Structures are given as structure tokens and as C-alpha cells.
Structure 1
Amino acid sequence: MARHILIVDDDRELCAVKKAQIELDGEFTVTVTNDPRQALKAARKKKPDLILLDIMMPGKDGFEVLAELKSDLETAAIPVIMHTGVEEEESRLRAAELYNEDYVLKSADRETLIAAIRRVLGRRR
């Protein structure tokens, strides 16, 4: 059975590309929400195996979303990979303080992203 990934990112075009890349081999299915204010609701409803979360989004940034997810009993155990264009040590450290499981740049190739997803999900078995 395919593992389910929830992508939370306001960039619709990038989400379509990442969804296609992640679903390519049939190992994963992907749901997308482009509104960070709907991330908690989507995570509760879809119950994903992993969340791929952008940092810089309008209305609510990824750090706020991560804090919400990790403080909610229904979603706290869902692993989160920060998936962002922000390559700053400060962002990595802040994400780690909020208990994200990994940090992958949007510029990373498909193999790097899939490897990170497998690695994080492998820790959760």
C-alpha cells in the first residue's frame, strides 16, 4: 500500500511538479494544500504518513504551521520535512527546535527528496 504524503506549499506549479515526482514510482500518493491556514485541518482529515512543509508562505509561515501540527494531539506524531528555498542555518535550527524530522531544499533533485522521505518514514516503522 502506498504511503501518503501531504504537501503544504503556496506555489501551485511547484506542488504539481513535486507531486508528479513523488508519485512517479507508485510508492507514495500525494495530497496538496496551497493554503497554510488549512494545513492542520488537512492533516487531521487526510492523516498523512508524512508532511512536506514550505517555510515562506503568505498568511502563516511554515514555522507557525509546524508549531500547530506538533502541538495538536491528532497530528503531533506525523513526521514533517521542511521543504524550502531558504538555505539558512537559522531556519534549519528553528525548524529543528520545533521538531521537524528533516530539511530539504526545493532545488534538490528528485532522488534527494525521495531519499529524505524514505529515511524519515523508515525511522517511523
Structure 2
Amino acid sequence: MFSYAKRCILVIDDEPDLCCIVKLTLERLKSWKILTTESAQAGLAQAEMQQPDVILLDLTLPSGDGLTLLQILKTNSTTQSIPVILFTATDPSSNSLKFDPADVAGVILKPFNVFQLADQIIEQLGW
């Protein structure tokens, strides 16, 4: 049976309470290593340094636009192969968001059920 214990997830979201909830839930439910950061710049640095298995990326970051960070991640040779799941309260199907659907592995809309979050990640990544 496949083990999820070695998985590493980077959460880039400007809400510290949400980062804490996601970290505690996924570490407890799946024993995954969860890294969190609240800014685009720190998120890019963490992604390059840690090479996580997946990135949960909020689209509305005060220190830098999440869509811009997505483009940087997908054009950076160090991070381009890391799957990115948009983690957002903004419906990505709205006309206000312009991104290439091929750049994202999935979307998790906020609010979300914390107990179903791990299953959503597993389903969207095909783990």
C-alpha cells in the first residue's frame, strides 16, 4: 500500500489561522509535512528550497498576486514540475481570473471542510 507519510505540502496563504488549521489537520490526519508561509516571496523561496510535493496557493496575497506567483512557479525550472492547487475563496471560473488551467492541478474553494481537505488533495493529484 502507498504511504502518504513522506508527502510535503507548502501552503501559501495570508491567513495565519487558516495556515495553522491546515497544518494541524493534515499533519494529524495524514502525517504529511506541512510548510506554511504568508507571502508570495517567501512562498517562492520555500518552493525552491524545499521542493514540496504540492503547493496550495491562495490567489489573493497582499504581498504579491497569487496568479503572478503561479506564473513564476510554472516558468521557474526549479519549481515548474511541482503541482499547484489553487486554494481560494475566489471562484476560478469567474472572468476576473486569467490563468492557464494547464498550470493548476486543481482548485479547492474556501470555505472547505478540513476533514475532507486531505481527500480533496489526494483526488486532485491522483495519489
- Determine if the TM-score, normalized by the shorter chain, exceeds 0.5: yes
Contact 2:25–2:115, Cα closer than 8 Å, also in 1: no
* 3-state SS, counterpart of residue 24 of structure 1: helix
Shift of 1:92: 9.2
Distance across 2 between alignment mates of 1:60 and 1:98: 22
2:118 aligned with 1:117, yes or no? no
Please give the root-mean-square deviation of Cα atoms over the aligned residues, in Å.
2.1
Contact 1:102–1:116, Cα closer than 8 Å, also in 2: no
Shift of 1:5: 0.2
2:26 to 22, 28, 42: 22
Cα deviation per residue 1:73-104 (whole Å; 9 max; x = unaligned)?
A: 01000000000111252269634436111010
2:10 aligned with 1:3, yes or no? no
* Percent identity (aligned): 30
1:76 to 62, 76, 80: 80
Unaligned runs of 5+ in 2: none
2:108 to 100, 104, 107: 104
More helix by share: 1
Distance across 2 between alignment mates of 1:99 and 1:117: 16
Residue correspondences, number = 123
Tell me the equivalent position of 1:51.
55
- State which drifts further: 108-117 or 35-44: 108-117
TM-score by length of 2: 0.85
TM-score by length of 1: 0.86
